[in-house]
Amino acid sequence: MSGSLFPSVMRTVVPLVAGWIIVALTGLGFSVDSHTAQTAIAFAVAGAYYLVFRLVERAAEKFHGPAWVKGAAGALLGYARPPRYKSTDDVGDLLRQARS
C-alpha cells in the first residue's frame, strides 16, 4: 500500500476493530436482538474511539504536550502520525497523491 494511503487505511480500520472489540468485551449491544442494532452500536463506539484519540492527538500537538501522548494516541488509531496531504482542488492530483 502506498505511503500516504497506508496511514489513512490504518486510521480507518483500527478504530472500527477497536469499536467491535470494546462492544464484544463490555457486552454493549448484546442484549439487543437485532444484528443491525448491534452493528450500529459497534460503529458508534468506533466513532467515539476515533474521536477521543484524535482529539487527544490534536490537543497534544496544539498545546505542545509531551510527544509520547501524541504518539500513543496516534498508535491507538493504528498509525502514530496523521496522514499529510498536499492541498489541491484538482481531483486528478488527489488520485495521484493517493497512489504515491
Tens digits of per-residue pLDDT, 34-84?
Answer: 777 777 788 888 888 888 988 898 899 889 999 999 999 988 888 887 766
Q: State the Cα angle at 26 between 18 and 8, rounded to 5°.
A: 10
For 13, other C-beta atoms within 10 Å of its C-beta total 13
Domain that holds residue 84: 5-99
Is residue 98 scored above 90 in pLDDT?
no
Number of domains within the chain:
1
Give pTM, 2 decimals.
0.60
